[in-house]
Each structure stands twice: as C-alpha cells, then as structure tokens.
Amino acid sequence: MATKKQAAGKKSGGRKNKSMHGVDTAQLHTSIFGEGGSDIIPGELIVQLDDATAASITQSIPRGPMRGRAMAGTTRFGVSALDNALATLKVTSVTRLHPPAPVESMAMAEATVMASTFRVTFDKSTSVNRAMEQVRQVAGVQYVEPNCYRETCAIPNDPDFPSQWGLAKINAPAAWDRTTGSPNIVVAVIDTGVDLDHPELGPLLVPGFDMVDLGANPTPPPGFRFEGDFQGRDNVPQDEVGHGTHVAGTIACLSNNTRSVAGVTWQCRLMPVKVLTRIVNIANPSDVRGTGSAADIAAGIRWAVDHGARVLNLSLGGTTDTQVERDAIAYAIARGAVVCAAMGNRGLGGPTSFPAAYPDVVAVGAIDATDLRANFSQVGPHIDIVGPGVDILSTVWNDSTTRMSGTSMATPHVAGVAALVLSCNSSLTGAQVADILRQTARPLRDVPADPVPNNNYGFGCVDAQAAVNRACPRIIRTLQISCRHTLQISCRRTLQISCRQSRLVLCGPSTVISCPSRTIACDPLPSRLVLCGPSTVIRCPQPSVTLRCPSTLVCGGPIGPGDPGPLEASAGDSECCENMPQSEADWAYYDPYAGWYGDEGAE
C-alpha cells in the first residue's frame, strides 16, 4: 500500500500577506468543526476484509445505502467471528462501498481491494473508538476506521472585483491559440453537485451521480444543521450550495459567446458527482457550506473514473487520513486519471489536508493577483503547484455568477489546464500530465534564495501555454529535399557517390536547384568530366533561394587498360540505384521532422 506524503515539518516563512479584495480571512480559516473539533461521523465504520475472509461471506450484501429506505437492509456478513463482534454494537446496516472487481481492468489489484470494503452503521450511543477496537480484534479484518466528514475549501466574498484575472495569470489565452479543449475529455467535479440547467454549463454536462447518503437523521457538527437532499443516492446531482457550480465554471464554460464568464476550457465536458451536501450555520444562516463523508467521496471517485472521467477535481478536504480515500485515489491513478485537490484554507501552520496529501495527487495552493501566496493557502512539502485563488469570478447556482476565494478556486484552474493538455494529446497518462503541469509551471518564491519547488508554491504557478506546448510541441514546417538515389561512376573499381545530407529549402515563387560539373581525376589516365543532370525547378509561395548540391567524387583506384571511363549520370536517374543498400543512419536525413521537436517554435 502506498505511503502518504509527509506533512510539513516546519512552518514556511516569507512575505506577510494582507487580506485582499474583501476576503474575510478569519472566515476562510474557520472549519465547521472548529479548532480541535472532531470530524468523525457518529455511528459509522469503514471495514475492509482480507481476500480469504471476503471470499467466505455468505450473506447477500447490497451496494449503496439502505438507511434512507423503508426496507430493512442486512446487518450481518455471514462470517461468525465478525458477526459476533458486530452484535454488541447494535448494527443497523452493512453495505458494500464499491462495485465488484471487473474480470479485467487496468487497475485490477486496486479494484479487488476496494471490492472488499464495507460501510457499517450502528447505534450512535456507542463510541466510534470502542467499536473500532472491537472490530479490529477479529481475524480477517484488513483495517477498520471511522467515516469522516469533508468540507469545501471556499466561501463567497466581495462582488466588486472587475474581471477574471486568473485566466490571464495562467496564460490561458495563449493556450487557446493551440486548443480550447475537446468534447472527448471529461472532467469530474467531485463536489456539491452542479446547477444542472445553468445556461453556461448545461450544454457541457455529461450524466453524473448524487453519492450523498448521510441517513435519515445524521449528526451535524455542533452549531450547524443539514438541509436539502442529504439521503438516498440518485442520478440527479443538483447543486444546493453553489460551490460545485463555481468550480465547474472555472474548469469549463461556454465561452466566446459574449455572455457571462469564460472557463479555462471551452469544449471539455463536465461530470457532476455530488459528494457534499448543504450545511447551514444556525447562528448565521448566510454561512452556507458543503460537507460530506470520506466514504461517499471514495465512492464518487470510483464512479467518476469508471464512467470515463480523465481529470478529477477535488476542491474539498479534511484533517483525517483515511484508507478508504487512499484506495479510491490509487485506483484512479492506476486507471490513468489526473487527480487535482485543494491544499486547504487554514494558512501557515494549518493541519495537513487530505486528499491533497495523498500520493500522486496534484496538490494545489492559491495565489493572488500579485503572485503572492494567498494568506489562507496552506503550505507543506507535498504542495505541487499554485493557481489563482482570490476573488475568482465564475458561475454559481440559480443561473448567476459570483466571486469566491480559496484553494477550492485555485484547483479548477489546474484541472482545466490538465484538460487542455489531454485535449491536444489524449495519449498521455495521468502521471505524465501531472509531471507536465509541474515542470512547466512558472517558478515562484518569496525570496531569491528559496529553492524551486518550495513549501509555499511548489513548482510555481500553473502555465497553460507552456503545458500545452510541452504536451503538443510545434513542428517547424519546412520543405525538405533529400537525395535518395545513388550515382555510380565506373573506374577500375565501382565507386558510389551517395548524397547523405538533406537540404532545407525556404519556399519562394521558384527555387532552382542546380548541380555544377565535377572533374574526377583518375590517375594515371586523363581526367574525365561527369556532368550533373538537368536542374530541377520547385515552385513555392515564399521568397526563393538557390541551393547547390556539392559532392566530392573520389575514384577507388587507378584505371587499368580496358576499364570503361566515367559514366555521365543524371540526378534524376534511378536505373543505377536499384537494389542498393541504404543504411539506417542515412534514413535519418529523410525524416522531415528529425531534430525539430521542441516546447515552443515558430510556424
């Protein structure tokens, strides 16, 4: 099993950031669980069994939630030792978290592990820690852990900032000269859902899913209440918070249509996967956020990848490391997906946020319009890259737009660039795309002596133009003339004259290639003249140049009596060239693209 990225072992210094553009710093830093509060969901465990124990299950266990339904679900595994341990917990349901492992898969090992993962719900009066200890003692239990809440990493702020500065900051307009995205590339927005009939987003949506199932009577964090659709899974991932819709509009939005806002991509498709639901601050009802469980997030990741998502955007996080999410992300990476996740909004010294700190995830921090780390953006050695995250204008539910700040807003800028990269080169793996994002980022540091990467900015600000150019290098278009035929001159021994070098021709109205005469000295006999064939005229559309074909002819030895003299040959003759060997080295000169691959180039 992969090990987690190490959390930051020290605080990162640097320039002090002030609150900008109306961002309420205190509000952005506050978690719904409060400082030191618990994010553990009462009455729930995640249990994974080893292969042998999973194979011995005799009970029929469904996948998906049973708690919001009238029918009663199973409360047993059909494995005696495990059922005996669960009996004292007053278990209310046992459900499979993921579908069965396929017969063949790119991520067969990861899928097999996930197929043995279950969610167990029990009486909330029982301590979760006590329940974990009881189940952990049973032979065949691979791991047991609490189910934990996750939350969004943004809240709305000042609506007066005048423009979408983030797109220019990441060089998106320059990248659009190469690609504006492909409808074949799907980005999963694993979040609070998306406003399904938003005029700027609706035409770009593919079918999604609502994974949220907190039960009929969930226990919210103190001071908050749940609202809206929070129980029972279905295929209507409608946003009731606005967060997922804002994230989606940054990734992809109908653009160049004189309406509303633009997205990083214009044509890539959006897959709404709802894993967070609406939660409201009772004392301040305008404080509306999104929250959900690690189990539902893991199920959403699996569902998105299995339904064709190439890029996953996770603008959410929590402070507890869970194996259930680790397994889901490992599965997504093994299937070739790019996983982008927000670093979190608790600033310097904030606790490590997951899933950003999991292996192979592209962890995204936030900067402001002056290239400074946003004061709320968390830091650490696992940060990969940063993106615009202060006063980001994008779509919101109810067919509108607004500005939000947070690492939640920075992450979709990076996910959008990943989608552009795949749009121009769909053969890349997720790992290759992630590496391109890091290696082409514009380096940022607080002081000149800071290394790159560093704990505040990672490799720097995502650069759409550089990333696209790296993934899809421009080919310098030139006309190339290669001498493909061998001419023979017969002296005493047969000599070969081979044209080994290509000549680049800059096209003009006409380009004349002429071959001057050469004199071959064959001692001791008098020299003989070998004449080149007629000139070849090439008609092209640009200024002309004249290229001449130099060659050096050397006889293999003196001419003896009766030997024929040199033969006259034409550059267009092929009779003397048939069946002559051509080395692999020679063919390199005929490759029209040899030596012309690069990140950037001129037409």
Question: What residues act catalytically?
Answer: 191, 243, 408
Q: β-pairing, 155-156 with 400-405?
A: antiparallel
* Alpha-carbon dihedral 564, 566, 569, 575, rounded to 10 degrees: 40
SS3 70: coil
The neighbour count for residue 33, using CB atoms within 10 Å, is 20
H helices, E strands: number in the chain: 14, 27
DSSP conformational letter for 203: G
Strand partners, 200: none
Asked if 426 contacts 186 with a C-beta cutoff of 8 angstroms, the reply is no
Which residues touch 502 (CB under 8 Å, ≥6 apart)?
480, 481, 482, 483, 589, 590
The phi, psi pair for 140, rounded to 5°, reads 100, -10
Asked if 544 contacts 476 with a C-beta cutoff of 8 angstroms, the reply is no
What share of residues in the chain are helix, strand, coil (percent, to 5)? Answer: 20, 25, 55
What is the distance of C-alpha 331 from the center of its chain? Answer: 14
| CA pair distance 386, 363, nearest whole angstrom | 8
| CA pair distance 337, 249, nearest whole angstrom | 20
- The sheet that has 511-514: what strands, in order across it? 536-538, 511-514, 547-548
Asked if 226 contacts 290 with a C-beta cutoff of 8 angstroms, the reply is no
